[in-house]
Chain A
Amino acid sequence: MAVITGVTCPVCGTFCDDIELIIENNVIVEARNACAMGAAKFLNYSAHRTKKPLIRKNGELVEVSMDEAVEKAAKILVDANYPLMYGWSNTSCEAIRTGLELGEEVGAVMDNTSTVCHGPSILSVQDVGIPSATLGQLRHRADLIIYWASNPWSAHPRHAERYTMFSDGRFEGSTWKSYLSRLRGVMSRKKIQRASNLVLKQDFCFTPQVEEGLPSSVHQKRRRTIVIDVRKTRTADAADCFFQVEPGTDYELLQALRVLVNDGELDVDEVAGIPIETLEQLADLLVNCKLGIIFFGLGLTMSKGKHRNIDAAINLTRDLNKRTKFLIMPMRGHYNVTGVNIVFTWQTGYPFAVDLSNGYPRYNPGETSAVDILSRDEADATMVIASDPVAHFPRAASKNIAKHPLIAIDPEVTPTTMLADVIIPPAFVGIEAEGTAYRMDHVPLPLKKVVEPPETCLSDQEILQRILQKVRELRRDMN
């Protein structure tokens, strides 16, 4: 039995690095400190995996040697007039670096999953910038935390505990005690209600709490948390205050808040279903904190308005910096989606949707992005690595992926691999192979190798390196 400490968790963008794994006979038997999502990955990753390369022959997937699979993949890429290489956010930076070299060699379009998650955030960052920080800065200093259209309770389970409301920093402490007492209050109220229903056969009536505007807890001199979302989430339950937004009106709300924090006035009585008086109180809270932070999620980037929602949110943050210190950060999903943007950027200048078909990087999401290219059926071959676009892309795009040769480098069985013509299953990065990945706040951390992969599985990087080599050989033979 071996205990390995300080393991990074290759699941979500929180990218916790304090996991302790217990290993017995090359099998992970326990994952301490991990959330449910992390534990599930560490303990079950190997349950339904492909171990040997497969090629579709006469409609059937058959096992082949690594060399045969690599050659077939290389041939597909060399023959293609406009190949797309997509995925990348669930693999190491080292693999991405090699992938970009391969993409350049075959004149591919390189795109990553941010194209369907925080791509819009990036577009608005390119318009206005982004005032942000590492997560520790917020743990130490943030006294006002806003989760806007993001629900870490479900999607980033340890975010609050490690970095925000339930974390202890140098200047701000955890608010778990006040959360617990509030929870107790709610529970006992529920209990009384239930008892009263049973005993008195009637609804127990509380004296209605006379609260002017926002709950008093948001005015306390301690860290406070606000949730703004279209529905009340688990995170909202834990927060000091919740604002419910009419779906599709975040943009209006953000712009209205910008007017209010600049002491302006509006002609309307409510915005996004929230009365102006309440919004004025919210604006006061924003202006009067010492350090505020907005964490925003896909609810903002993928709802009506897309990148312009983020444009407005960042501009709100910019405005607030005239009055206090305010920061903003996207809640990135995959553990290395931040890293893939970073590596793409240092090698090509652009974070996603990079078209290398003309021998140099070109970038224009909408034109050079995977979903758009596939929807227009322009790609004549696709290589997918560590991702499942068939399940997540719009139907027209998925259908067009399947029409043309498809290479999948993925250990898991997914709708994408099921349609693939070549499947090369790699070792799981962060478990069976090492590398580097970036947390959502751009902090780089090592991915560790804690168990040996099956003999037939190479790392993503090695596979890509072999394909690259083969591509160069084929090219040489052609000339």
Chain B
Amino acid sequence: MTELIIKNGFVYDPLNRIDGEKMDISIRDGKIVESVKEKANGINASGMVVMPGGVDIHTHIAGGEVNSGRLLRPEDHVKDVEVKTALTRSGVGYSIPSTFTTGYRYSKMGYTTLMNPSMAPLEARHTHEELADIPMVDKAAYPLLGDWWFSLEHIRDGLIEENAAHIAWMLQATRGYAIKIVNPGGLEAWGFGRNVHSLDDVVPHFNITPREIIRGLCKVNRLLNLPHTIHVHTNNLGKPGNYVTAIETMKCVEDLAQGDKPVIHITHIQFCAFKGSDWSTLSSGAGEISKYVNNHNHVTLDMGQVIFSNTTTMTADGPFQYGLYNITGNKWVNHDVETETSGGIVPFKYKRSSAVHATQWSIGLEIALLIEDPWKILMTTDHPNGGPFTSYPKILAWLMSRAAREITLSKINKRARKKSLLPSIDRELSLYELAIVTRAGQAKALGLKPKGHLGVGADADVAIYNIDPQRLDISKEYKVARKAFKKAAFTIKDGEVVVKDGEIVKPVTGKTYWIDVSTSMPHEINDDIKKKFREYWTVEYENYPLPDSFIHSSFPIPVKAEV
């Protein structure tokens, strides 16, 4: 029995409505408990901020597309390396860090749970192999299911329950956590080099529209009682005028909401909040989007904030990535996956001097600040699409400090600055709100009960930052706070101190979460999938699902479905 007590810290635990209260946090055997014995090891956190460990709802850290991105960019790795130490493995960093480096760097910032949002089901084995080599954090992955032939056919034929049962099979087979939908219908069309351009475009050969796919899978999600909502990357991503599509996407499942519970998560909203008819007239759709979100409770968002940096874009949105390649002429990877999805990678440099990039930078922050309820908008960069996760402290500084925003504003493209809504926004997030957008809100949106808070029974994942809220005005001294968020004073994972003063002191492995849905018809589904297997895929049925022994520290979350 190992015990630990964090003493006298200023605790920010929004899920338990604790706002900077000076209190002790007791830990026993990896869980938060009421109290521990007096002789328990203590951490003196006086003058420091104590928060639940950071949670990232959307970060591309493992799997086929991430790794192809790594392979593509030796010039990106060579400038940022990690040397082997007595405790840690070596690796490379910058926009797509190697696996070990990814785990260490997140942990050093006080993060303890990561969601890998893009897993081609056929290549799930690859994602999980890599996740096993990402130390320090708990993790999970979302299988891409929006263009899966079974989904398209079932939903077209009105077979929602069948589809739900098939998706339950798929979550089990791929050890997945949530239903990921990327440019619904567009990826199937991309198989022949085409795309869909609105919610009501018909997907070639399948006679179904993106609207039907989203609504169908939203219903499926509810039937399966999944802890997270559908996780949607909208159609028309990265195109001027696409804020309309984003709003329509949210609208199209409005009627499926029950009470105040969200039914859809729109990811990296910045990339779908473009107003204007072309790149030269690009402006921010943040106003319209936040107005909609402020008036509706069935949706959560994450930012997809842009950082001025040389990064690597990677999504399952094949046609979008092709478009990016056409704009930049950069190197381009495309990877279409049979019967399921596609994927693309293009290196990309966000420049302050570019009107488009600077507007994108502004849009992300505008949305985060204009949406009144911080539980609805979570902080991400869609790593590495908007920029690498290591720049999170910069974003926190922009969110907590108008002064920090103004400094960056003064350096960006003039046209973008003129159009930016940021000068009109005074809002500065408090530490309590920052704790929501970086952990509590993320865990809540994920339905990940033991994470994101410090109440009794929660996992003892804790981040302690060297910020004294009584002495430090984070709005003015954002640089100090930024530094503190970059290097946690302590990171505690499952009750053990794993990071001290921003350095790894104990390498640990994390759990892999997945949703184990029980349905009433598993055998019928097995038979149906088996029957079509050779027709749809080029691998054998028996080699497709991952055996449990394959998953590193497998942690199934049992869920009972309504089918």
Touching chains A and B, CB distance < 8 Å: yes
Interface residues of A (CB under 8 A from B): 5-6, 8, 17-18, 93, 97, 101, 104, 122, 125-137, 139-141, 162-163, 170-171, 290-291, 318, 321, 324-325, 327, 341-343, 345-351, 356, 358-363, 436, 438, 442-446
Among B98, B332, B336, B542, contact of A346 (Cβ-Cβ < 8 Å): B98
Q: Is the CB of A347 within 8 A of B98?
A: yes
Q: Is the CB of A17 within 8 A of B543?
A: yes
What are 27 A-B interface contacts by the 8 Å CB criterion?
A6-B543, A8-B543, A17-B540, A97-B133, A126-B71, A129-B72, A132-B335, A133-B337, A133-B342, A134-B122, A135-B538, A136-B337, A139-B338, A291-B191, A325-B192, A325-B193, A345-B71, A360-B90, A360-B92, A361-B77, A361-B90, A361-B92, A438-B126, A442-B123, A443-B123, A445-B539, A446-B543
Q: Does B469 contact A (CB under 8 A)?
A: no
Are A291 and B193 CB-contacts (below 8 A) given A17-B543, A97-B133, A342-B67? yes
Among A6, A171, A350, A444, contact of B129 (Cβ-Cβ < 8 Å): A444
B347 to A, closest residue via Cβ: A129
Q: Does B331 contact A (CB under 8 A)?
A: yes
Q: Is the CB of A139 within 8 A of B89?
A: no
Chain B residues lying within 8 Å of A446, measured Cβ to Cβ, are: 125, 543
B3 CB, nearest partner CB in chain A, Å: 31
Q: Does B403 contact A (CB under 8 A)?
A: no
Other than the known A137-B191, A342-B67, A356-B90, what 11 A-B pairs have Cβ atoms closer than 8 Å?
Answer: A101-B89, A127-B331, A129-B346, A133-B338, A136-B122, A137-B338, A291-B192, A349-B92, A356-B84, A361-B92, A443-B539
Q: Does B173 contact A (CB under 8 A)?
A: no
Q: Is the CB of B90 within 8 A of A104?
A: yes
- Which 4 residue pairs of A and B lie closest in terms of their CB atoms, listed nearest first? A136-B338, A325-B193, A349-B92, A129-B331
A291 to B, closest residue via Cβ: B192
A124 to B, closest residue via Cβ: B331
Q: Is the CB of A137 within 8 A of B336?
A: yes
Chain B residues lying within 8 Å of A17, measured Cβ to Cβ, are: 539-540, 543
Q: Is the CB of B322 within 8 A of A321?
A: yes
B98 CB, nearest partner CB in chain A, Å: 5
A233 CB, nearest partner CB in chain B, Å: 24
Bound together, the chains give a CA A5 to CA B322 distance in angstroms of 40
B102 to A, closest residue via Cβ: A346
Interface residues of B (CB under 8 A from A): 62, 64, 67-68, 70-74, 77-78, 81-84, 89-92, 97-100, 122-123, 125-126, 129-130, 133, 191-193, 205, 322, 325, 330-339, 342, 345-346, 535-543, 550
Chain B residues lying within 8 Å of A170, measured Cβ to Cβ, are: 535-536
B342 to A, closest residue via Cβ: A133
Bound together, the chains give a CA A294 to CA B421 distance in angstroms of 49
Q: Is the CB of A104 within 8 A of B333?
A: no
Are A348 and B98 CB-contacts (below 8 A) given A6-B540, A6-B543, A163-B538? yes
A378 CB, nearest partner CB in chain B, Å: 21
Bound together, the chains give a CA A126 to CA B100 distance in angstroms of 22
A126, A130, A133, A349 — most chain B CB neighbours (10 Å): A349
Bound together, the chains give a CA A291 to CA B78 distance in angstroms of 36
Q: Is the CB of A349 within 8 A of B91?
A: yes
Q: Is the CB of B338 within 8 A of A361?
A: no
Q: Is the CB of A131 within 8 A of B334?
A: yes
Chain B residues lying within 8 Å of A129, measured Cβ to Cβ, are: 72, 325, 330-334, 345-346
B470 CB, nearest partner CB in chain A, Å: 42
Among A6, A122, A132, A445, contact of B71 (Cβ-Cβ < 8 Å): A122
Among B98, B331, B537, B538, contact of A349 (Cβ-Cβ < 8 Å): B98
Q: Is the CB of B192 within 8 A of A444?
A: no
Are A347 and B540 CB-contacts (below 8 A) given A126-B72, A136-B339, A171-B205? no
B188 CB, nearest partner CB in chain A, Å: 11
B78 CB, nearest partner CB in chain A, Å: 8
Chain A residues lying within 8 Å of B535, measured Cβ to Cβ, are: 170
B70 to A, closest residue via Cβ: A345
Q: Is the CB of B129 within 8 A of A351?
A: no
Q: Is the CB of B81 within 8 A of A361?
A: yes
Bound together, the chains give a CA A357 to CA B339 distance in angstroms of 44
B100 CB, nearest partner CB in chain A, Å: 7
B538 to A, closest residue via Cβ: A136
Are A347 and B99 CB-contacts (below 8 A) given A8-B543, A134-B338, A360-B82? yes
B129 CB, nearest partner CB in chain A, Å: 6
Q: Is the CB of B125 within 8 A of A444?
A: yes
Q: Is the CB of B90 within 8 A of A134?
A: no
Bound together, the chains give a CA A298 to CA B68 distance in angstroms of 21
Bound together, the chains give a CA A8 to CA B78 distance in angstroms of 37
B134 CB, nearest partner CB in chain A, Å: 9
Are A5 and B542 CB-contacts (below 8 A) given A126-B74, A442-B64, A445-B125? yes
Among A5, A163, A349, A360, contact of B70 (Cβ-Cβ < 8 Å): A349
Chain A residues lying within 8 Å of B322, measured Cβ to Cβ, are: 321
A97, A163, A346, A443 — most chain B CB neighbours (10 Å): A346
Chain B residues lying within 8 Å of A324, measured Cβ to Cβ, are: 193
Bound together, the chains give a CA A453 to CA B336 distance in angstroms of 38
Are A139 and B540 CB-contacts (below 8 A) given A356-B90, A442-B335? no
Q: Is the CB of B538 within 8 A of A139?
A: yes
A218 CB, nearest partner CB in chain B, Å: 20
Bound together, the chains give a CA A476 to CA B173 distance in angstroms of 43
Chain A residues lying within 8 Å of B336, measured Cβ to Cβ, are: 132-134, 137, 327
Bound together, the chains give a CA A170 to CA B337 distance in angstroms of 14
Chain A residues lying within 8 Å of B71, measured Cβ to Cβ, are: 122, 125-126, 341, 345, 350-351
Are A347 and B100 CB-contacts (below 8 A) given A126-B73, A341-B71? yes
Bound together, the chains give a CA A356 to CA B331 distance in angstroms of 27
Are A318 and B126 CB-contacts (below 8 A) given A97-B133, A324-B193, A350-B74? no
A136 to B, closest residue via Cβ: B338
Bound together, the chains give a CA A244 to CA B448 distance in angstroms of 61
Bound together, the chains give a CA A392 to CA B90 distance in angstroms of 31
Q: Is the CB of A361 within 8 A of B91?
A: yes
Bound together, the chains give a CA A325 to CA B342 distance in angstroms of 13
Q: Is the CB of B537 within 8 A of A346?
A: no
Bound together, the chains give a CA A104 to CA B87 distance in angstroms of 13
A365 CB, nearest partner CB in chain B, Å: 10
Bound together, the chains give a CA A127 to CA B537 distance in angstroms of 31
Q: Is the CB of A348 within 8 A of B92?
A: yes
Chain B residues lying within 8 Å of A97, measured Cβ to Cβ, are: 133
Chain A residues lying within 8 Å of B97, measured Cβ to Cβ, are: 349
Chain A residues lying within 8 Å of B123, measured Cβ to Cβ, are: 442-444
Are A327 and B334 CB-contacts (below 8 A) given A18-B540, A101-B89, A126-B73? yes
Bound together, the chains give a CA A318 to CA B193 distance in angstroms of 12
Chain B residues lying within 8 Å of A341, measured Cβ to Cβ, are: 71
Chain A residues lying within 8 Å of B98, measured Cβ to Cβ, are: 345-349, 361
Bound together, the chains give a CA A5 to CA B539 distance in angstroms of 12
B71, B322, B536 — most chain A CB neighbours (10 Å): B71
Are A346 and B67 CB-contacts (below 8 A) given A134-B337, A325-B193? yes
Chain B residues lying within 8 Å of A348, measured Cβ to Cβ, are: 90-92, 98
Bound together, the chains give a CA A6 to CA B67 distance in angstroms of 27
Among B81, B126, B550, contact of A442 (Cβ-Cβ < 8 Å): B126
B263 CB, nearest partner CB in chain A, Å: 32
Chain B residues lying within 8 Å of A445, measured Cβ to Cβ, are: 125, 539, 543
Among A125, A137, A325, A358, contact of B337 (Cβ-Cβ < 8 Å): A137
A339 CB, nearest partner CB in chain B, Å: 9
Bound together, the chains give a CA A359 to CA B89 distance in angstroms of 9
B542 to A, closest residue via Cβ: A6
A442 to B, closest residue via Cβ: B64
Chain B residues lying within 8 Å of A358, measured Cβ to Cβ, are: 83
Bound together, the chains give a CA A133 to CA B71 distance in angstroms of 16
Chain B residues lying within 8 Å of A321, measured Cβ to Cβ, are: 193, 322
B211 CB, nearest partner CB in chain A, Å: 24
Bound together, the chains give a CA A433 to CA B463 distance in angstroms of 42
Are A360 and B129 CB-contacts (below 8 A) given A104-B90, A135-B538, A443-B539? no
Bound together, the chains give a CA A45 to CA B153 distance in angstroms of 45
Q: Is the CB of B126 within 8 A of A359?
A: no
